[in-house]
């Protein structure tokens, strides 16, 4: 097969030589289209970074100019008066808690659903699948009432529990696929060696589905870090709010007391972890999309 | 075994399944506020919906976004995916990285950024237009009922196009190169190859992404509208999800809000089915 393709490629490459200038022109036209789009993606972010170093007067003056000097005090104010640091800490707490809960729920569930045969298995798989279609805004009212009845509102632990449950459907769906692809011999060998269910799961299976778990963690990280609707509804006291809520409050305040600098500084602070994780795990993320099909 | 399943199932039933069932059940009740005792009123909430001018306007605005945004998002995604996979540009990895980036940004960050892009005085859309000599057309994009939905649509497209592009790129990579090779030997132009090879071969993926995109618009429009316009000016950018939220948490009309939820859910399912039917193979 490869042989045939290689053979076919040789004459066609020769043909291309005669039309090469046309291809170069075409490539440059396409490149211009792509560069314009790339600018449309990058410029708003770049502008945001620039504006975070400007004074209010400079922001008002022109969106194209560079800041005259680096106004770090925007960042200082973002932490002192806008309390970005506190919101950030809440977000970090909620993300870690949610992630632990998600892993503790999703991995064993996917293990059982992917590798064992029992009555009701199909039903449970289908129930989790149905969860893919239940978005947060649809169920926000009964969820709010339920959590109010159980005194779970305004509590970072229960917010995390709701987050973990929110991505459970997708995670189970993703991991079950990985679990199914492991040959059963591995477990049999482990069982013979006297490993129980749990030690088999943790010592044999978990390392083998690591790519799946990483994909799940990466996707869930962005979901947890960025979540807005639930955090806005289920957390009421300012001291427990997560960063998306903190930012949107800051945005509301800016309309009356103009301090754009610290708002933009706040946005940059939120962007930093996202950018770092994206740069480090970009490959995993886009590969994961191909493994797990389409994210919900 | 049970120990493996129970933690997940308990949480799932508590925070997902039970509330979802409640939404359907309580949509038949008049229920105003937490202290209030729900009263069964049959289909009255659903009947009221169609006499509620604000709801109808919100439904129309949502309909606009649900049609416009997926069409442009998926078209841009397809064209970009095809350019990046079919041409041998050296820096294609860079474009892919950049274009995908907005889809992992927080919706809140996107909404705030775009509020400033459209800002009438400090926004760079207006000032950019002035630089290009189009200053006469500068306007308050989010403050004008004629432009507000388009402005929101652009934001939603900006957010999602890269995400679908990556999905399509994976799809195109799995198409056999022999097909393109044969087509170019027969003298088919890139455009013809796009129409006659790429689109038909990706058709099943495109069908799924249409449905995902419709649902994405429903979800994301909530955050974008809440932060960028709060439904204004004069409800011209109100969408069903923001209206639902407002009925529930500002007006305490729990029953009515849940009825809206049921309606929107049914609406999105029906829309997905229609889209599936329309795009079915064999008819063309």
Would you say residue A69 has pLDDT above 90?
no
Nearest CA in chain A to B112: A251
CA distance A210 to B146: 51
CA distance A79 to B10: 39
* Burial annotation B174-185 (CB, 10 A radius, 16+ → b, else e): eeeeeebeebbe
CB contact under 8 A, B16 and A138: no
- B-facing residues of A in 31-70 (CB < 8 A) are 31, 33-34, 37-38, 40-45, 47-48, 51, 59-60, 62-64
Q: What is the pTM of this model?
A: 0.86
Would you say residue A6 has pLDDT above 60?
no
Residues A17 and A149 reside in one and the same domain: no
Q: Domain limits at A163?
A: 75-295
CA distance A239 to A245: 11
The residue among A118, A91, A50 whose CA lies nearest residue A268 is: A50
Q: Residue A66: inside a domain, yes or no?
A: no
A206 contacts chain B (CB < 8 A): no
Q: Give the percent of chain A with pLDDT over 90.
A: 29
Nearest CA in chain A to B2: A112
Nearest by CB: B112 against A116, A144, A267? A267
CA distance B86 to B78: 12
CA distance B116 to B242: 21
Nearest by CB: B107 against A62, A145, A228? A228
CA distance A72 to A74: 5
CB contact under 8 A, B248 and A168: no
Residues A147 and A256 reside in one and the same domain: yes
Supply the CATH number for residue A270's domain: 1.10.3720.10
Angle at B12 between CA B6 and CA B18, to 5 degrees: 120
Distance from CA of A147 to the nearest CA of B (A): 9
Contact B66, B218 (CB under 8 A): yes
CB contact under 8 A, A145 and B254: yes
Residues of A in contact with B105 (CB under 8 A): 226, 271, 274
CB contact under 8 A, A12 and B261: no
Contact B98, A38 (CB under 8 A): yes
Where do we find the tokens 């120990």?
A: B3
CB contact under 8 A, B20 and A134: yes
Contact A261, A77 (CB under 8 A): yes
Q: Residue A69: inside a domain, yes or no?
A: no
pLDDT of residue A195: 64
Confidence of residue A194 (pLDDT cuts 50, 70, 90): low
Residues A41 and A129 reside in one and the same domain: no
Q: Residue A67: inside a domain, yes or no?
A: no
A151: left (phi over 0), alpha (psi -120 to 50) or beta: left
Nearest CA in chain A to B230: A252
Residues A136 and A226 reside in one and the same domain: yes
CA distance B172 to B81: 8
CA distance A216 to A282: 14
pLDDT of residue A12: 46
CB contact under 8 A, A162 and B15: yes
Q: Residue A58: inside a domain, yes or no?
A: no
pLDDT of residue A19: 61
Residues A33 and A84 reside in one and the same domain: no
pLDDT of residue A288: 65
E strand or H helix that includes residue B30: strand B29-30
Residues A89 and A148 reside in one and the same domain: yes
CA distance B45 to B136: 47
pLDDT of residue A290: 62
Q: Residue A59: inside a domain, yes or no?
A: no
Q: Residue A62: inside a domain, yes or no?
A: no
A217 contacts chain B (CB < 8 A): no
In this structure, the number of other CB atoms found within 10 A of the CB of residue A81 comes to: 11
Residues A139 and A205 reside in one and the same domain: yes
Q: Say what the ipTM of the complex is.
A: 0.86
Residues A27 and A154 reside in one and the same domain: no
Q: Residue A246: inside a domain, yes or no?
A: yes
CA distance A156 to A86: 13
Say which range, A66-70, A203-207, A239-243, has the weakest mean pLDDT: A66-70
Contact B108, B223 (CB under 8 A): yes
Distance from CA of B146 to the nearest CA of A (A): 23
For chain A, how many structural domains are there in total?
2
Per-residue pLDDT of chain B (284 residues; tens, 9 = 90+): 677 888 899 999 999 999 999 999 999 999 888 778 888 998 999 999 999 999 999 999 999 999 999 999 999 999 999 999 888 788 888 898 899 999 889 899 999 999 989 988 878 888 888 888 787 777 888 888 889 999 999 999 999 999 999 889 888 888 888 888 888 888 888 888 888 888 888 888 898 899 889 989 998 999 999 999 988 788 999 999 999 999 999 998 999 999 999 999 999 889 888 988 888 875 44
pLDDT of residue B284: 45
Would you say residue A257 has pLDDT above 80?
no
* Three state DSSP letters for chain A: CHHHHHHHHHHHHHHHHHCHHHHHHHHHHHHHHHHHHHHHHHHHHHHHHHHCCCCHHHHHHCCCCCCCCCCCHHHHHHHHCCCHHHHHHHHHHHHHHHHHHHHHHHHHHHHHHHHCCCCCHHHHHHHHHHHCCCCCCCCHHHHHHHHHHCCCCCCHHHHHHHHHHHCHHHHHHHHHHHHHCCCCHHHHHHHHCCCCHHHHHHHHHHHHCHHHHHHHHHHHHHHHHHCCHHHHHHCCCHHHCCHHHHHHHHHHHHCCCCCHHHHHHHHHHHHHHHHHHHHHHHHHHHHHHHHCCCCC
A96 contacts chain B (CB < 8 A): no
Residues A93 and A150 reside in one and the same domain: yes
Nearest CA in chain B to A106: B8
CA distance B43 to B56: 17
What would the pLDDT profile of A108-120 be if each residue is shown by its tens digit? 999 888 888 888 8
Q: Residue A157: inside a domain, yes or no?
A: yes
E strand or H helix that includes residue B211: helix B199-228
Would you say residue A200 has pLDDT above 80?
no
What would the pLDDT profile of A9-60 be if each residue is shown by its tens digit? 444 444 444 567 877 888 888 889 999 999 999 989 998 888 888 887 777 7
What would the pLDDT profile of B49-105 be if each residue is shown by its tens digit? 999 999 999 999 999 999 999 999 999 999 999 999 888 788 888 898 899 999 889
| Residue B197 token pair | 């090879």
Overall average pLDDT of the A135-158 stretch: 92
Report how far Cα B50 is from the mean position of its chain's Cα atoms. 24
Residues of B in contact with A111 (CB under 8 A): 4
In this structure, the number of other CB atoms found within 10 A of the CB of residue A75 comes to: 20
Residues A141 and A260 reside in one and the same domain: yes
Nearest CA in chain A to B242: A137
Confidence of residue A4 (pLDDT cuts 50, 70, 90): very low
Nearest by CB: B212 against A116, A290, A294? A294
Nearest CA in chain B to A245: B108
Distance from CA of B109 to the nearest CA of A (A): 7
Residues A243 and A181 reside in one and the same domain: yes
pLDDT of residue A134: 86
Three-state SS for B89? coil
Distance from CA of A295 to the nearest CA of B (A): 8
Residues A139 and A30 reside in one and the same domain: no
């Amino acid at each position: 097969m490869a042989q045939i393709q290689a053979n076919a490629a040789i004459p066609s490459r020769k043909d291309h030589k005669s039309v090469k200038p046309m291809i170069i022109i075409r490539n440059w036209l396409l490149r211009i289209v792509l560069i314009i789009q790339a600018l449309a993606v990058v410029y708003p972010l770049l502008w945001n970074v620039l504006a975070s170093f400007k004074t209010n007067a400079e922001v008002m003056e022109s969106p194209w100019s560079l800041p005259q000097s680096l106004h770090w005090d925007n960042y200082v104010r973002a932490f002192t008066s806008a309390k970005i640091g506190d919101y950030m800490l809440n977000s970090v707490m909620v993300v870690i808690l949610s992630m632990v809960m998600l892993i503790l729920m999703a991995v064993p569930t996917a293990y059982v659903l992917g590798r064992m045969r029992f009555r009701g298995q199909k039903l449970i798989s289908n129930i989790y699948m149905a969860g893919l279609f239940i978005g947060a805004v649809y169920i926000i009212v009964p969820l709010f009432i339920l959590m109010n009845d159980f005194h779970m509102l305004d509590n970072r632990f229960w917010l995390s529990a709701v987050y973990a449950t929110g991505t459970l459907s997708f995670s189970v769906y993703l991991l079950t696929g990985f679990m199914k692809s492991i040959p059963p011999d591995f477990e049999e060998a482990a069982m013979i060696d006297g490993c129980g269910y749990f030690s088999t799961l943790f010592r044999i299976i978990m390392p083998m589905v690591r790519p799946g778990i990483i994909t799940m963690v990466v996707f869930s990280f962005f979901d947890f870090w960025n979540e807005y609707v639930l955090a806005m509804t289920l957390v009421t006291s300012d001291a427990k709010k997560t960063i998306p809520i903190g930012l949107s409050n800051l945005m509301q305040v800016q309309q009356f007391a103009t301090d754009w600098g610290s708002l933009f500084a706040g946005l940059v602070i939120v962007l930093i972890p996202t950018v770092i994780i994206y740069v480090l795990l970009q490959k995993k993320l886009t590969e994961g999309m191909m493994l797990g099909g389409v994210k919900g | 075994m049970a120990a493996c399943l129970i933690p997940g199932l308990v949480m799932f039933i508590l925070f997902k399944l039970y509330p979802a069932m409640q939404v359907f059940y309580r949509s038949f009740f008049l229920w105003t506020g937490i202290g209030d005792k729900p009263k069964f009123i049959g289909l009255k909430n659903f009947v009221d919906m169609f006499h509620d001018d604000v709801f109808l306007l919100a439904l129309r605005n949502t309909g606009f976004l649900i049609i416009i945004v997926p069409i442009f998002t998926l078209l841009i995604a397809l064209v970009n995916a095809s350019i990046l996979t079919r041409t041998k540009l050296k820096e294609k990895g860079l474009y892919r990285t950049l274009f995908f980036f907005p889809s992992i940004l927080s919706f809140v960050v996107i909404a705030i950024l775009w509020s400033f892009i459209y800002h009438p005085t400090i926004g760079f859309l207006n000032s950019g237009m002035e630089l290009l000599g189009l200053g006469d057309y500068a306007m308050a994009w989010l403050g004008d009922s004629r432009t507000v939905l388009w402005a929101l649509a652009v934001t939603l497209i900006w957010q999602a196009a890269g995400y679908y592009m990556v999905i399509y790129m994976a799809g195109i990579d799995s198409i056999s190169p022999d097909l393109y090779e044969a087509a170019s030997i027969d003298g088919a132009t890139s455009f013809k190859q796009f129409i006659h090879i790429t689109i038909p071969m990706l058709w099943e993926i495109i069908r799924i992404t249409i449905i995902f995109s419709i649902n994405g618009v429903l979800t994301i429009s909530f955050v974008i509208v809440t932060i960028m316009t709060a439904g204004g000016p004069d409800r011209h950018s109100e969408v069903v999800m923001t209206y639902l939220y407002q009925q529930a948490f500002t007006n305490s009309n729990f029953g009515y809000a849940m009825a809206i939820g049921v309606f929107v859910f049914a609406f999105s399912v029906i829309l997905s089915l229609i889209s599936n039917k329309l795009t079915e193979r064999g008819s063309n």
